[in-house]
Amino acid sequence: MKPQRPPAMPLLAAAALAAAALASLPAASSQEPPAAPAALEEAGIGLSVAAALLGEGDEAGAAHAAEFASRQFIAGMSGLPPPGQGGAPAAEIHVALLDVPPSIPGTDAAARIAAAASMVGGYGAAPAGGPRQAVVMMLNAADEQYALASEGGGESEAAHRIAAALFSRSKAVFEADADPGSMLDVEQISFLDSIESTAAARGDFSRVGSLVSAVQRDLLGTETLLHDSAGLYENIRALYGRLLVAVDAGDYAEAEDLAIEAYLENFEYLEPELEAADAEHMHRLEVQMREDLRSMVREGGDPAEIRAFLEGTILPSLDEGEAKVAALASAYPEALASPSFGGVRKGAGETTEDERSGVRGEIDSIRASLGEMLAHYEAGDVQSAYATARTAYLDSYEYVEIPLRPIDPDFTLEVEYLFADLRNLIKREAPYGEVREAATRIERNLDESERLVTGTGQLAPAIAFSASFAIIFREGLESVLILGAILTYLEASRNSRFKPYVYYGVLAAVGATAATWFAASYVVEISGASRELIEAVAALSATAVLFYVSFWILNKIEHKKWMEFVKAKVWQATTTGSVMVFVMLAFFTVYREGFETVLFYQAMLGFAKYMEAYVGLGFVAGMASLLLLYYVMRRLGRRLPLRVLFGLTMGIGAYLSIAFLGNAVRELQVLDIVPYTSMIGTVPRLDINMATMTGIYPTLETVVAQAVLCGVYVAASTYVLVLRPRKERMVAGMRKSRGGAGGA
């Protein structure tokens, strides 16, 4: 049942009280407003809209605006400086804002809005990060609200008012800080003007989004260089062709959108290389595209004049610029080899713990946003998908770039391109499969971003070394034992003439193993877009083989059973008297382990990025240990503690299979083959290197898969090592007692 609206007079009186309190906040129309932190700006505007809508009787809209104010303040609360003189603590404002939405509708709702607004307005703090950072954050919030307003629904009016107020406030704050002599600042003001006017008229969402992206990109200082320059030039020409068609049809709004897209989503990515080739030419072409053409289109100019300007000025200048870049690349390829980075270059992992933690948090947010984006797009909600994709970049990846750019600027810009490609696919309403592939490419590079920022650390390389050592030692141990037993038996039975053929079989197996390694590496190298799937299949295969081998070892863990197994093999070979039997016995003994080794190392190297040296050291150490073991067994005649060795290798195999399984499930999640259910906050969020070496990820699917496999290992080990021996002892005891009874 809908609650009854409170009497009009008290509500209007309270709304007036709220308006008076809100007057203390900076007005969006002020010529030179002081810029407060974005959280305060957004909260103040949300409360202002809430008060206005409440006075108009729009309770649902007022509640939405109040919730917006509370949410934005909470999101930015940790970055606020101490309050000014007389200002309330952030926690107190937080509580006041939380109390507002539940009070709507109600007789005290407007009074609560007024009280919260008074507290926000009295904070008196300088902007964290400066006015331009505040503008970036406000544009984020405004863009999200504008997307919500564009969808329609009961909250659209409130969302539109919030967005329009934030756009106006952003422009006012930037104008107060802008340098009139800076061409870039003049450009930003032009874009902010367009955003404000388009939003006020409830114009196209995509156009507003493109303009917001351009302003934020420039304010954050993210220069962008794409490697597919030829494709960008063709995009610009194609967009201008469509622009001329729209002008001829009298659709100047569509023509202006195409002009904006040609400049923002294409030309801006070409600016660095054009500037390197001819800065004056680049700036002249930039003004022609950004200002002159847009002015002609916006003012509804004569189609013939627009066509003449495009075909006679802009397109020839574009061709000339492309030729200049090609000439520069031919004469001085190093000039365009990498983006310019003016700061101090750093190595991977040369970051603070706060930076690493921040990057991990932002990457988790991006993953969640990409999943949300795909859900929106699959449901046909293109606008929400576009807004979410842009938010993933501007709200999160931009902050990953700050510590990442000094480490690898080339890679940083490649990821920028991937995000731009994703946005363009969504705008074109490309098939869902293409959008999903673009999102998958971004996800793969998120792992790389985290690796570069966090470095390898110390524990992950140690695990990589230990796992590598364990693999070769585990796989080689069986071969050493069998070959040692064969050679010992041949010597004892005076059949030493067969020994060379055993060595021939070993050499053939080593060669076959090397060939298998190179073949597997080649398949992975040429796999391209299917590489992730191949790595997932390799990890699953490694898990299955380790699972089988571990249980096989469990059944041979007793020394007596192992020796019976070896004697059976040797007796079978010697009874035939054929030299090829010994060659093949040695070959398959070694190659079976070699094939498994190739499989395990290929799976491990797919996850041990930047730790390959430690994997190699582990391999060398493992081989050295095997040679030592062989020497101890053959030359010194020592009996090996097989139960200990097999138990150890079984445990290592179980650990590796659990790690491989976790990584395989995660690869399938990235490929959107297996669902992704986040458990962040419940399962530890390890850094990417530790995660890949343990297979532990904060998702329900990986945790369940690993828990099930671990449970199977525990149950099997308990049966083989505890329950079955106990049963065998009981049976033996019963037989003994019966024998004793019979003798009596």
Per-residue pLDDT of 411-455, as tens digits, reads 887 787 788 788 878 887 889 988 988 898 898 889 888 888 888
Angle between helices 315-331 and 229-248 (to 10 degrees): 180
With pLDDT > 70 as the criterion, what percentage of the chain qualifies?
A: 78
CA 114, 115, 118, 120 dihedral sign is: negative
- Please give the structure tokens belonging to residue 60: 């649902």
Strands (DSSP E) found in 485-558: none
Q: Grade residue 166 by pLDDT with cuts at 50, 70 and 90.
A: confident
Mean pLDDT, the chain, integer = 77
Answer left, alpha or beta for residue 451, where phi above 0 means left and psi between -120 and 50 means alpha: alpha
Nearest to 294 by CA among 381, 393, 193: 193
Q: Which of 17-21, 120-124, 659-663 has the lowest mean pLDDT?
A: 17-21
Query: Which DSSP letter does residue 289 get?
Result: I
Query: Which DSSP letter does residue 683 get?
Result: B
* 355-361 LR contacts (CB < 8 Å, sep 24+): 355/402, 355/403, 355/453, 356/453, 356/454, 356/687, 358/399, 359/399, 359/400, 359/403, 359/404, 359/449, 359/450, 359/453, 359/454, 360/450, 360/454, 360/685, 360/687
Partners of 683 in beta bridges: 680
pLDDT for position 620: 93
Query: Which CATH code for domain 353-453?
Result: 1.20.120
Q: Grade residue 306 by pLDDT with cuts at 50, 70 and 90.
A: very high
pLDDT for position 347: 80
Q: Grade residue 23 by pLDDT with cuts at 50, 70 and 90.
A: very low
The angle at the Cα of 164, spanning 213 to 74, to the nearest 5 degrees, equals 80
- Please give the structure tokens belonging to residue 627: 């040679």
Highest mean pLDDT among 341-345, 439-443, 558-562: 439-443
Angle between helices 642-670 and 579-605 (to 10 degrees): 50
Instruction: Say if pTM beats, i.e. exceeds, 0.85.
Output: no
In sequence order, the 6+-apart residues with CB closer than 8 A to the CB of 458 are: none
Q: Which residue has the higher pLDDT, 424 or 563?
A: 424
560-576 average pLDDT score: 60
pLDDT in tens, 100-130: 777 777 777 778 788 877 777 655 555 555 7
pLDDT for position 4: 35
Give the 3-state secondary structure of residue 178. coil
- Please give the structure tokens belonging to residue 732: 């033996």
Distance (Å) of CA 365 to CA 77, 474, 521, 625: 18, 40, 34, 45
DSSP string, 619-679: HHHHHHHHHHHHHHHHTS-PPP-HHHHHHHHHHHHHHHHHHHHHHHHHHHHHTTSS---B-
Residues composing the chain? 744
pLDDT in tens, 678-737: 888 788 888 888 888 888 998 999 999 999 998 988 887 787 777 777 887 787 777 767
Contact present, 45 and 165 (Cβ < 8 Å):
yes
Strands (DSSP E) found in 275-406: none
pLDDT for position 617: 93
Q: Grade residue 384 by pLDDT with cuts at 50, 70 and 90.
A: confident
CB atoms within 10 A of CB 156: 17
What is the Cα–Cα distance from 285 to 707, expressed in whole angstroms? 61
2-14 average pLDDT score: 35
CA 261, 266, 270, 272 dihedral sign is: positive
Angle between helices 642-670 and 459-492 (to 10 degrees): 130
What is the Cα–Cα distance from 90 to 526, expressed in whole angstroms? 56
pLDDT for position 123: 58
Q: Which of 30-39, 254-263, 657-666 has the lowest mean pLDDT?
A: 30-39
User: Looking up tokens 């039997």, which residue turns up?
Assistant: 581
623-644 average pLDDT score: 72
> Residue 562 pLDDT more than 60?
no
pLDDT for position 397: 82
pLDDT in tens, 648-657: 767 777 888 8
- Please give the structure tokens belonging to residue 160: 């539109």
Letter for the amino acid at 503? Y
Return the CA Rg of the chain.
Answer: 34
Letter for the amino acid at 519? A
> Residue 494 pLDDT more than 80?
no
pLDDT for position 402: 79
> Residue 333 pLDDT more than 70?
no
Nearest to 196 by CA among 259, 127, 142: 142
pLDDT for position 703: 92
Q: Grade residue 525 by pLDDT with cuts at 50, 70 and 90.
A: low
Q: N- to C-terminal Cα distance for the chain?
A: 92
- Please give the structure tokens belonging to residue 345: 């270059």
What is the Cα–Cα distance from 195 to 168, expressed in whole angstroms? 9
pLDDT for position 10: 36
What is the Cα–Cα distance from 431 to 377, expressed in whole angstroms? 10
pLDDT for position 78: 55
> Residue 331 pLDDT more than 60?
yes
Q: Which residue has the higher pLDDT, 556 or 233?
A: 233
pLDDT for position 554: 52
What is the Cα–Cα distance from 716 to 195, expressed in whole angstroms? 66
262-273 average pLDDT score: 77
Q: Grade residue 25 by pLDDT with cuts at 50, 70 and 90.
A: very low
Q: Which residue has the higher pLDDT, 56 or 16?
A: 56
SS (H, E, C) 49-78: HHHHHHHCCCHHHHHHHHHHHHHHHHHHHH
272-276 average pLDDT score: 79
DSSP string, 594-624: HHHHHHHHHHHHTT-TT-HHHHHHHHHHHHH
Give the 3-state secondary structure of residue 546. helix
pLDDT in tens, 603-627: 888 778 888 889 999 999 988 988 8
Contact present, 264 and 213 (Cβ < 8 Å):
yes
Burial class, 5, CB count within 10 angstroms (exposed 0-12 / middle 13-18 / buried 19+): exposed
Q: Which of 1-5, 180-184, 482-486 has the lowest mean pLDDT?
A: 1-5
- Please give the structure tokens belonging to residue 272: 């660095």
pLDDT for position 313: 93
Q: Grade residue 305 by pLDDT with cuts at 50, 70 and 90.
A: very high
Helices (H) then strands (E): counts for the chain = 31, 0
pLDDT for position 310: 92
pLDDT for position 318: 92
Contact present, 427 and 321 (Cβ < 8 Å):
no
User: Looking up tokens 């298998």, which residue turns up?
Assistant: 516
Q: Which residue has the higher pLDDT, 103 or 308?
A: 308
What is the Cα–Cα distance from 615 to 34, expressed in whole angstroms? 57
211-228 average pLDDT score: 62
pLDDT for position 638: 55
pLDDT for position 605: 83
CA 347, 350, 355, 359 dihedral sign is: positive
- Please give the structure tokens belonging to residue 38: 């974005």
pLDDT for position 550: 66
